């Protein structure tokens, strides 16, 4: 991982890319990533004056003072960057103190850390550096024998609503606690265990699985590929570990805990006592690591298949229908076929009520179709159905956000239109032209 901090000092290492919500445009935009981030940064500064009544406020990028004393570090640094007045940022800042204590207590219990262990873990609200594409991040500094960890909460991530702040924060605090408690031994743990434990403890396993299944479906090119989304989501535990591996990692930890309910406290205690990871895993699970990983993979794949439930085959033909219609509008028998398409979308929309993995795809479908020639009011109503529910604060495709911004603008609901634009501008990995579009659209809206 490449970061400015690392270049400055080896003792500071970015431990983990934080849990983040997948961008569904990412694949198309990999080469444009640097450009996107540059646009986002420009947008933050450019929009600050209008949006949040702060002019020319410089971005605030946090770097721990490695030579400073720990006691100098604030619990929550006062954030004065361009997004300081954004409601999401203010809300998080107001709650941060309490959230920190709650998250520490929760993770301390889940990991079985002793009561006399007093974590340092500090919360920092700051702007996201251009080099990052996470919503929150954990970093640590070794000060002598003591390890001090910080959870960086990026204001941009809060404003773009690309993560659920509370569960993401609990996830990050899980990293900081384990890192502080185990010290350098923590750095030797396999990533699937580190991330899987954090996902498990933050209650993110099944949501992560849904998102990954949806992502694999989204990037399927045909029905054959779509029928293998579970296999692609759980493709085995390897040495390499990226975002796409989070779901399987979480399921492996679920397997461990299913088999041995007190596995995590016992693992932590064994590691603290000096055991290697392999020895600790063998002691707790009763299996050599290789055997455990094979069994865990089998469990993970089975769970992914159950969750997928054959829906890939249901969704794909619908997407083709709608795309075909979009490509050949002149062949579209207007009223009747439009009705059929709308009914199909609406019936699939009920899957969203069960937090179906297909939700991101359905959102995409709904947005791509733009509901043909429905009125703005009807469009907004149907989109609302897709956006309601437990994943409402989750990631949205650029298409969906653009459709929302247009629908709300048409309805004269400028507050919600503005929110959709801001989510595009402050999110990451949205296409540069989409961000530009959002900035233009924003300028046409009434001021808040
Ligand atoms: Zn993590």
H or E stretch covering 143: strand 136-143
- Ligand 1 centroid to 71 CA: how many Å? 26
Ligand 1 centroid vs 19 CA: distance in angstroms?
5
pLDDT for 191 equals: 96
Sheet holding 136-143, edge to edge: 13-17, 136-143, 146-154, 122-126
- pLDDT recorded at residue 85: 87
250's enclosing H/E stretch is: helix 246-259
Per-residue pLDDT at 129: 86
Whether 89 shows a pLDDT value over 80: the answer reads yes
Tokens standing for 268?
């932590």
3-state secondary structure of 151: strand
Query: Any idea which of 14-18, 105-109, 155-159, 200-204 has the lowest mean pLDDT?
Result: 14-18
pLDDT of residue 78: 76
Give me ligand 1 centre to Cα 171, in Å. 6
In this predicted structure, what is the pLDDT of residue 10?
A: 27
> Whole-angstrom Cα distance, residue 344 to residue 314?
11
pLDDT at 230: 92
Take residue 4 and report the two structure tokens written for it. Answer: 């400015």
CA–CA gap between residue 150 and residue 187 (Å, rounded): 16
What single DSSP character describes residue 183?
G
Computed over every residue of the chain, the mean pLDDT equals 74
Q: What is the pLDDT of residue 69?
A: 60
Apex CA 288: angle with CA 284 and CA 293, to 5°?
A: 90
Distance CA 438, CA 270 (A): 52
Specify the pLDDT at position 437: 94
Give the Cα separation of 9 and 263 in Å (integer). Answer: 36
Query: Residue 355 Cα, ligand 1 centroid: separation in angstroms?
Result: 23
CA of 10 to the centre of ligand 1 (A): 21
pLDDT score, position 308: 80
C-alpha 403 – ligand 1 centre gap (Å): 32
For residue 410, what pLDDT is reported? Answer: 76
pLDDT tens digits for range 14-67: 222 222 323 333 333 333 333 333 333 333 333 333 344 444 567 788 877 666
Q: What is the pLDDT of residues 170-190, one digit of tens each?
A: 999 999 999 999 999 999 999
Using the mean position of ligand 1's atoms as its centre, give its distance from the Cα of residue 436 in Å: 31
For residue 169, how far is its CA from the centre of ligand 1 (angstroms)?
A: 10
Query: Residue 191 Cα, ligand 1 centroid: separation in angstroms?
Result: 9
SS3 227: coil
pLDDT at 81: 86
| 129 or 379, which is more confident | 129
What are the φ and ψ backbone dihedral angles of 212, each rounded to 5 degrees? -70, -40
Rounded (5°) CA angle 430-436-441: 110
pLDDT of residue 4: 26
pLDDT tens per residue across span 372-420 = 444 445 545 555 554 443 343 345 667 667 777 887 887 788 988 888 8
Ligand 1 centroid distance, CA of 174 (Å) = 8
Bridge partner list, 142: 147
Per-residue pLDDT averaged across 358-363, rounded?
Answer: 48
Q: What is the pLDDT of residues 144-173, one digit of tens each?
A: 889 999 999 999 889 887 788 999 999 999
CA of 313 to the centre of ligand 1 (A): 32
In order of their start, the domains of the chain are: 1-188 (no CATH), 190-309 (no CATH), 311-444 (1.25.40)
329-348 per-position pLDDT tens digit: 443 355 565 555 555 555 54
pLDDT at res. 368: 44
Backbone angles phi, psi at 15, to 5 degrees: -80, -45
Q: Do 365 and 319 touch, CB atoms closer than 8 A? A: yes
3-state DSSP helix/strand/coil % of the chain, to nearest 5: 65, 5, 30
Judged against a pLDDT cut of 70, whether residue 68 lies above it is answered with no
Q: How far is the CA of 96 from the centre of ligand 1 (A)?
A: 19
**CA 243 to CA 235: how far, in whole Å?**
13
pLDDT at residue 229 above 70? yes
Tell me the whole-structure pTM to 2 decimals. Answer: 0.72
The predicted structure's pLDDT at residue 40? 37
Tens digit of each residue's pLDDT (9 = 90 or more) over 247-289:
999 999 999 999 999 999 999 999 999 999 999 999 999 999 9
**pLDDT confidence tier of residue 210, bands split at 50, 70 and 90:** confident
Helices and strands in the chain, H and E counts: 21, 4
List residues, by chain if needed, whose CB lies under 5 Å from ion ligand 1.
16, 19, 195, 198
* Cα(66) to centroid(ligand 1), Å: 23
Between the CA of 250 and the centroid of ligand 1 the distance, in Å, is: 11
CB 244 within 8 A of CB 26: no
Query: 359, 386 in Cβ contact below 8 A?
Result: yes
């Amino acid at each position: 991982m490449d970061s400015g901090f690392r270049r400055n000092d080896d003792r500071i290492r970015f431990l983990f890319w934080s849990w983040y919500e997948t961008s569904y445009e990412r694949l198309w935009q990999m080469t444009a990533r640097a450009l996107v981030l540059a646009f986002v940064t420009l947008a933050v500064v450019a929009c600050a004056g209008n949006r949040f009544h702060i002019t020319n406020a410089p971005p605030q990028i946090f770097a721990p003072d490695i030579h400073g004393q720990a006691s100098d570090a604030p619990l929550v640094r006062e954030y004065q960057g361009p997004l300081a007045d954004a409601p999401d940022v203010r809300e998080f800042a107001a709650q941060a103190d309490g959230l920190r204590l709650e998250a520490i207590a929760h993770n301390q219990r889940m990991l079985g850390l002793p009561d006399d262990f007093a974590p340092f873990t500090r919360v920092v609200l700051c702007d996201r550096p251009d080099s990052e594409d996470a919503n929150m991040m954990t970093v640590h500094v070794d000060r002598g024998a003591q390890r001090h960890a910080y959870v960086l909460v990026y204001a941009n991530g809060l404003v773009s609503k690309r993560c659920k702040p509370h569960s993401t924060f609990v996830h990050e605090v899980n990293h900081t606690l384990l890192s502080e408690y185990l010290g350098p031994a923590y750095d030797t743990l396999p990533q699937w265990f580190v991330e899987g434990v954090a996902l498990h403890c933050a209650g993110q396993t099944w949501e992560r699985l849904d998102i990954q299944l949806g992502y694999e479906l989204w990037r399927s090119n045909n029905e054959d590929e779509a029928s293998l989304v579970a296999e692609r989501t759980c493709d085995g535990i390897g040495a390499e570990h990226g975002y796409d591996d989070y779901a399987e990692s979480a399921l492996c930890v679920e397997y461990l805990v299913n088999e041995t309910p007190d596995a995590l406290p016992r693992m932590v205690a064994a590691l603290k006592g000096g055991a290697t990871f392999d020895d600790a895993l063998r002691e707790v699970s009763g299996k050599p690591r290789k055997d455990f990983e094979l069994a865990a993979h089998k469990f993970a794949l089975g769970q992914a298949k159950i969750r997928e439930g054959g829906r890939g085959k249901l969704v794909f033909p619908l997407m083709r229908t709608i795309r075909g219609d979009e490509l050949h509008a002149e062949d579209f028998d207007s009223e009747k076929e439009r009705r059929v398409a709308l009914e199909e979308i609406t019936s699939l929309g009920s899957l969203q009520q069960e937090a179906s993995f297909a939700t991101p795809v359905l959102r995409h479908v709904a947005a791509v179709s733009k509901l043909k020639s429905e009125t703005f009011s009807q469009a907004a109503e149907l989109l609302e159905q897709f956006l309601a529910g437990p994943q409402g604060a989750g990631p949205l495709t650029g298409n969906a956000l653009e459709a929302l911004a247009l629908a709300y603008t048409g309805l004269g609901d400028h507050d919600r239109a503005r929110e959709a634009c801001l989510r595009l501008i402050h999110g990451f990995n949205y296409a540069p032209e989409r961000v530009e579009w959002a900035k233009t659209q924003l300028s046409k809206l009434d001021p808040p």
